[in-house]
Amino acid sequence: MLIDEEMPLEHSSWIAARAIGPWHRLVLNDIQTFAHTSPVYVNFGDERVVSPEDARFWIEWIDKLIAQVNERGHFSTPARRQEVIDLCRRGQEVYRGLLATAGNR
């Protein structure tokens, strides 16, 4: 099957195709057959592909991860624990930076 559709875009984006079909005996461990392409990126100048909702999700997810590290993490020293937390915070700063970029749209 060939699909020939126009997709008007206003911002840098990615596009992928997904196909879903009925269950088949040769598809193990699933209730249906499916396929998903790799993304095709469409860039408008230097504008990055940014999802504010996704960035917020990961900022919150990292907060939960840090809470788990503090509550249940086992480390050889307090400095090792802090090293992990600091790395998590650096990751959050990346997502906060993406949020700031997305705010310029």
Residue 20, pLDDT score: 84
pLDDT, one tens digit for every residue, the chain (105 residues) = 788 989 899 989 999 998 888 877 776 667 778 889 999 999 999 888 888 999 999 999 999 999 999 999 999 999 999 999 999 999 999 999 989 887 655
Per-domain residue ranges of the chain: 1-49, 52-102
* pLDDT for the residue 105: 53
Sequence-distant (6+) residues with CB within 8 A of 63 are 92
